[in-house]
Amino acid sequence: MAKILALMVDGKPRSHKDIVRLADILAVSNSLRRCWERGFLLRTEKPLYESGKVFKGRGGFTHNTRPFHIYILKPKNSDELLVDGHRYVSYDRKYLDSRGKKRRGGSKARLILEFLEKNQKKAWFSTEIVEALKSRGVATSDIMPNVRRYERKGLVYVRGYRTDEGQTPFREGYLITHIDPKKPRENALEEAIQRTSMALEGKASTNPLVHRVHLIKDLIFEATKLKDLISFNYIHEKLNCTEFEAGLAVSRALQLYPELREVKLFNAYRYYYHSSMSEEDLRAATSLKENYIRKSKGRDNRIGHNWEAVAEWFIDKFTTGAKFWSQEHRDKGMDSRRITTYLMKSVNSRRSNAEVDRVWEVTPGVFAQPITYVLSCKWGLVNKDHVDDFLQVLRWSKDFGVDTPAGRQVKQGVIGIFAGSSFNPKEKVKLKDSAEISLSSYTARMNIQLLTASDFNEKMHSKGCSRRITVQAICRSARDEREVRDVLDQIWTNPSKGEDILSNVAKKNSELYEFEKNLETRQEVTHS
Domains of the chain: 2-100 (1.10.10), 109-199 (1.10.10.10), 208-297 (1.10.10), 300-518 (3.40.1350.10)
The more confident residue out of 43 and 49 is 43
pLDDT of residue 156 exceeding 70: yes
Of the pLDDT bands very low, low, confident and very high (cuts 50, 70, 90), residue 163 is low
Mean pLDDT, all residues of the chain: 84
pLDDT of residue 56 exceeding 90: no
Among 425, 422, 445, 236, CA closest to 330: 236
* Distance (Å, whole) CA 405 – CA 394: 17
Average pLDDT over residues 205-230: 84
pLDDT confidence of residue 528? 37
Q: What is the DSSP letter of 487?
A: H
pLDDT of residue 527 exceeding 70: no
pLDDT of residue 522 exceeding 60: no
pLDDT tens readout for residues 197-213: 888 776 655 567 777 88
pLDDT tens readout for residues 248-262: 899 989 988 889 999
Of the pLDDT bands very low, low, confident and very high (cuts 50, 70, 90), residue 350 is confident
pLDDT tens readout for residues 471-494: 999 998 998 888 999 999 999 999
* Distance (Å, whole) CA 504 – CA 334: 26
pLDDT of residue 63 exceeding 90: no
pLDDT of residue 407 exceeding 80: yes
Kindly list the strands in the beta sheet with 323-324, ordered across the sheet, starting from the edge strand earlier in the chain. 323-324, 358-362, 371-382, 414-423, 448-452
Of the pLDDT bands very low, low, confident and very high (cuts 50, 70, 90), residue 296 is low
Query: If residue 185 lies in a helix (H) or strand (E), which one and from where to where?
Result: helix 185-199
pLDDT tens readout for residues 417-474: 988 877 777 778 887 777 888 888 888 888 888 888 888 999 999 989 888 899 999 9
* Cα 359 to Cα 131, 278, 449, distances in angstroms: 38, 48, 14
pTM of the complete model beyond 0.85? no
Average pLDDT over residues 345-371: 85
* Distance (Å, whole) CA 257 – CA 255: 6
Residue 123 makes CB contacts below 8 A (sequence gap 6+) with: 159, 175, 176, 177, 192, 195, 196, 198, 199
* Distance (Å, whole) CA 265 – CA 518: 12
